Structure 1
Amino acid sequence: MTHRFALRVYYEDTDLAGIVYYANYLKFIERGRSEWVRALGVDQARLRAEDGIVFAVRRVEADYLRPAVFDDRLEVETRLVGLGGARIILEQDVLRGDETLFSARVVLVCLGSDGRAARLPAEVRRKLA
């Protein structure tokens, strides 16, 4: 399943050269992941409150391919590519139309309230699979 999240580049997202500041792509894909999880029916606030479970980024491999600029309309595309006991692997792209501007592979881990890796709850695993 591929999830798409639309966003627009605001002035605050750009640097002195008028292009999107490199670190903001990480914010864009974070928003895309949050909306992907929400679309799957996973309530992260409830998961934390009731089970003490949160998702944390363990690793990001990113390629900056082309710049985005002020007022561009972008889409974040999120795809699940791997699911382990406590790990979720995603591929995410930031697109302007059909053009890929940024591409990342993101490894998430499921953490318990003690900060250690925890197995994905069965309900969450079912929704992701």
Structure 2
Amino acid sequence: MSHHLTLRVYYEDTDLAGIVYYANYLKYIERGRSEWMRDTGIDQMAMKAASGRVFAVRRVEADYLRPAQFDDLLTVVTDLASATAARIVVDQQVRRGDQVLFTARVTIVCLDGQGRPVRLPQALSRALPEG
């Protein structure tokens, strides 16, 4: 279950040194996860409206390996690492061509309207292999 999202680095993404500001990598991988979810058939807005459930990041382990710069064309790769009834763990990379610039392992949980952990939606659980 690998997903690829292509994006371009804009001037607003960079710092004074002309490289991508470190926090923007977290935005890039968030976009990658959102599109990956969409491709699994999960409409997050509809899920929230129907059940009050939302996804939240519980943990991020990140490594910054090489800088991206203005106008670079990047690919965010999202791969399922594991899934249980209550959480999803994904491995993500930001690449420029064959170069890996950034890696992260992200743990995602589902919360109810009061912020309490709940099981993943059945539609998502069915779409993901048990892990």
Residue equivalent to 2:70: 70
Q: Which runs of 4+ in 1 moved over 2 A?
A: none
Match of 2:67, SS?
A: coil
Residue equivalent to 2:93: 93
Is the counterpart of residue 25 in structure 1 residue 62 in structure 2?
no
Residue equivalent to 1:7: 7
Partner AA of 1:14 in structure 2 = T
Residue equivalent to 1:61: 61
Q: Which runs of 5+ in 1 are unaligned?
A: none
1:20 shift after superposition:
0.2
- Over the matched positions of the two proteins, sequence identity in percent amounts to 64
Match of 1:35, SS?
A: helix
1:30 shift after superposition:
0.3
Match of 1:101, SS?
A: strand
Match of 1:120, SS?
A: coil
**Equivalent runs, 1:75-86 vs 2, <5 Å:** 75-86=75-86
Residue equivalent to 2:38: 38
Provide the aligned C-alpha RMSD in A. 0.7
Partner AA of 1:52 in structure 2 = G
Q: Which runs of 5+ in 2 are unaligned?
A: none
Partner AA of 1:121 in structure 2 = P
- TM-score normalized by structure 1? 0.98
Match of 1:113, SS?
A: coil
1:85 shift after superposition:
2.1
Match of 2:117, SS?
A: coil
Match of 2:62, SS?
A: strand
